[in-house]
Structure 1
Amino acid sequence: MSESQNLKVYRAAEVREQSENGKTWLIIYNKVYDVTEFKYEHPGGEHILNQYSGDDASSIFVYINHSEFALNLMNKYLIGVLHEDDRDNRGEK
């Protein structure tokens, strides 16, 4: 059983709704992350996380070329996976 099978499944509308309600949820490669608490510690500043809150941040995440430490830290904020019908199938990491 894969890690994603143990996670809650979210619709894209739910992720956007959380953003509208003051949370900072991001979609990165069809996984959902709640970085609400982390955004104040984010080395690149909270503004970039706020900018993509409620949306797919995969492209900018790849563009920034995050460190191995950052990639491992993401697991702490992983809360679910995006519903199959809402997925962008450009590939998963």
Structure 2
Amino acid sequence: MMDNSNPTPEKDEPHLIDLRFSLRRLITPTALADIYWASDLHQGGENGQEHPVILLLVKPELARLPGFNPAWTEVLRRPSPEVEGYPALLAYGIDDSGYWLA
């Protein structure tokens, strides 16, 4: 698993997650995950407008804890609460950058 502690995308070579989300800027690192502004390349506007999203990359140290994978899968496959203002979960998964959700 790649270390996601600070992927810093270059202008000509964006860091892609799941071939869908292009990392733009690290908002803040936390003890559990790094939080980024990203662009959703599947939901861009007709005029080439970017569709900004928040993307969370789980820290590798957390992902290595026993039981993390089944817990991650169980929690994220549950439907989101139907509460006004609750953020919509667009996608989640694991790739060479580690566990992520947007």
Q: Is the TM value for this pair above 0.5?
A: no
- The TM-score bracket by the shorter chain reads under 0.3
Q: Which structure's CA Rg is the greater one? A: 2
Whose helix proportion is higher, 1 or 2?
1
Whose strand proportion is higher, 1 or 2?
2
For CA contacts below 8 A with separation 6 or more, give which structure has more relative contact order. 1
Tell me the TM-score normalized by structure 1.
0.26
